[in-house]
A and B are shown apart, each in its own frame.
Chain A
Amino acid sequence: MAATLQFPANVSSFNNYNDAVPDWTQREVSTGTTIMAVEFDGGVVMGADSRTTTGAYIANRVTDKLTPIHERIFCCRSGSAADTQAIADAVTYQLGFHSIELDEAPLVQTAASLFKDMCYRYREELMAGIIVAGWDKRRGGQVYTVPVGGMMTRQPVSVGGSGSSYIYGYVDSNYKTGMSKEECLKFTAGALTLAMERDGSSGGVVRLAVISELGVERQVILGNQLQQFSTA
């Protein structure tokens, strides 16, 4: 089990190993993370862990990575905390303006496109993996993924962040079309729990959000309330 560490290409401080100062003084703040979103008939379920790291130090153990972009559109952020916050702020502004011009609620696809435009245009400077999800009147619940590099695609279920590698097998085998809201919540919480157990950069609590026509419901599952999986 030689775990391959993935460091972003632009973190140049990696090689300046200095014993005299703590590790975190030389590292960028990163949401090394696990994020996930699932569509169901009537809305979406989004989930994320709550750990933000600077190197080996956990800068925030109760981070909220589920960021509102509009009333019924949220995004899950992974990668550099600074980059994703800046992009989310910019898109929130652009989408708000667009919504006022249109005089109606914006489409989830529009939000995703705005994210994609920014992530692609500045792909050399950014380190951001974003999942955009929400509900709109035209197409109901939708999940769009905008990974590092700036591609955008719609998927019924999407996982992201450093912890996502460990749960591809679990997600592939447990997802079925036509799940109810409760099944999606259990599926998401289970997947995030498993990833948080294995990924050093993910942990803390599980934050969940359900977005539907009725609005947004948020939940937190604390560390000691997470589902227990038996392992060797």
Chain B
Amino acid sequence: MNEMSVNGEWRSSKVSTGTTIIAVRYDGGVVIGSDSRASMGEEYVSSRVINKVIQIHDKIFCCMAGSLADAQAVTNAVIHQLSFHSMQMDEPPLVQSAAAIMRSFCYTHRDELSAGFIVAGWDRKRGPQVFQVSLGGMIVEQEFTIGGSGSTYIYGYADAKFKPGMTREECLTFTTNALSLAMDRDNVSGGVVHLVIVTEKGAERQLIPGNKLPVLQRLA
């Protein structure tokens, strides 16, 4: 136990959303989920109830991972640019436009930023979509995607459990279970589960408190 950890290495660490984020598309909408922990260093939880699923337009949401400061700065810039774009076009923006704006920020400032995102939502042209905009500014559309530090622990689970053509209820179970498993193993993910379901009709938020999460582990 060295001096730094006794005196609080976290004091000199930046706030990071060591996190688990996930988004799944189904026929009719998307289910987006995240945990709620913000950490400084590996030891201090600076907030146990933050919301990492941010609404960037009526039916488009993004999840933040990585450095919280960078993620918030980029998200705010994207909200601003997207609303301006939407007003110019005089119609609701496409999910791929939101993702493209996000990507353009992440790529242009890739040397300074340290944040990854999932952009998901519904638009009239292509329906529900999920995009991953990763650290260096790569964009890729997927049926489902996971991100954040906690996601490494659930790659196997997600690969095994995901099937194309799931219903809304199956997607909710899949998302909640995956987040629960990741939060159990990753020390910088935890708290409550924030869920957002986006469909043609709009967005619905749900919150599952820590003590109501599914318990999937059958070991001690």
Contacts and interface: CB of A to CB of B under 8 A. Distances in A.
B45 interface: no
Interface residues of B, number: 35
Interface in B146-185: 146-147, 149, 151-160, 162-164, 177-178, 181-182, 184-185
Interface string A184-199: 0000001100110110
A156 to B, nearest CB: 7
A166 B158 CA distance: 10
With a 10 A CB-CB cut-off, give which of B144, B178, B185 has the most chain A CB atoms. Answer: B185
Interface stretch (A76-84, A116-124, A171-179): A171-179
B219 A173 contact: no
A156 B220 CA distance: 10
A21 B90 CA distance: 57
Contacts of B182: 169
A169 B185 contact: yes
Nearest to B178: A169
Given A3-B152, A157-B219, A169 B157 contact: yes
A166 B182 CA distance: 10
B152 A194 contact: no
Nearest to B143: A232
A197 B159 contact: yes
A168 B149 CA distance: 13
Interface string A5-26: 0000000000000000000000
Contact of A166 (B134, B147, B155): B155
A231 interface: yes
Interface in A175-232: 175-177, 190-191, 194-195, 197-198, 229-232
Contact of B162 (A166, A176, A230): A230
Contacts, number: 87
Interface residues of A, number: 28
A156 B218 CA distance: 11
Contacts of A173: 157, 177, 181, 216-217
Contacts of A69: none
A1 B163 CA distance: 20
B159 A198 contact: yes
Given A165-B152, A165-B153, A170-B156, A1 B185 contact: no
B160 A194 contact: yes
15 contacts: A1-B134, A4-B152, A169-B153, A169-B155, A169-B185, A170-B154, A170-B160, A173-B157, A173-B217, A175-B218, A194-B155, A197-B159, A229-B159, A229-B160, A232-B142
Interface of B: 66, 116, 132, 134-135, 142-147, 149, 151-160, 162-164, 177-178, 181-182, 184-185, 216-219
Given A172-B157, A232-B164, 8 more contacts: A166-B155, A170-B154, A170-B156, A172-B185, A172-B219, A190-B160, A194-B156, A232-B145
